[in-house]
Amino acid sequence: MGFLDAKFTRLVELLPVFAANYAKRFMEHVYDNVFQTPFGQKLVAMGKSKKYAVEFGLNLLTAFFEDRLAENTKLKKFVKEVGIDVVPEISKRMINGAREEILGSAKTLEEKEIVQILFGLEDKELFGLLGWFYEKSASELMAISSQLSLMSAEQIARLMNFSVEDREKYFGVLNPRSRPKEAKQEILKAMTDDIKGLRQRFQR
């Protein structure tokens, strides 16, 4: 096969992907219009737990597309490319409604600033952070929130890449007063080279 033949063959192979990208761009307008309908507004108005349940079901549907739909024809490859994109687009519009609800519940200026910073995170990082919050007491959340308000979304995202243990150590070093006496003593013992290295990682 000559050079031009190989190029042409590769171009033909990529056509379904190119076509799918244009189709996905067109479908964004369709998704927006759907969420302006009464049905779409009901989806947006659902409680957060129901939204995440729907999102979970949609993710299962995506897994089905990825696992069951073969790519042995160009048409099937096109359908698979577009079909896999449907779920994250719908989820994004539902979650945006949840984000507006959360932002509206913030009362003080500090709370609003923190919420805006958190919304600068990717969904995976945001959900990971919220899951970590659920394990904290009210006093711990206040101490953590005061530190988060001083961080950028990029710094918080980097923090979420730490292990839970490293994250606890980091906030323990920053807020030793928020912990009982025994925990303070453990933190002081732990403030060695590994903690210094941890803080250097965060500042990079």
Distances from the Cα of 145 to the Cα of 83, 124, 142, angstroms: 39, 19, 5
Work out the end-to-end distance of the chain between its first and last CA atoms, rounded to an integer number of angstroms: 50
- Determine contact, residues 83/69, Cβ cutoff 8 Å: yes
CA dist., res. 81 & res. 24, Å (int): 9
- Within 10 angstroms of residue 136's Cβ, the number of other Cβ atoms is 14
Most confident of 53-57, 126-130, 174-178: 126-130
Give me the pLDDT at residue 5, please: 47
Residue 28: pLDDT band with limits 50, 70, 90: low
- Determine contact, residues 9/1, Cβ cutoff 8 Å: yes
CA dist., res. 198 & res. 189, Å (int): 15
Count of residues in the chain: 204
Domain boundaries, the chain: 3-105, 109-203
Residue 64: pLDDT band with limits 50, 70, 90: low
Given a cut of 60, whether residue 199 has pLDDT beyond it is no
Average pLDDT, the chain: 63
How many angstroms from the chain centroid is the CA of residue 11? Answer: 34
Residue 168: pLDDT band with limits 50, 70, 90: confident
The mean pLDDT of 22-29, rounded to a whole number, is 60
Phi, psi of 51 (to 5 degrees): -60, -45
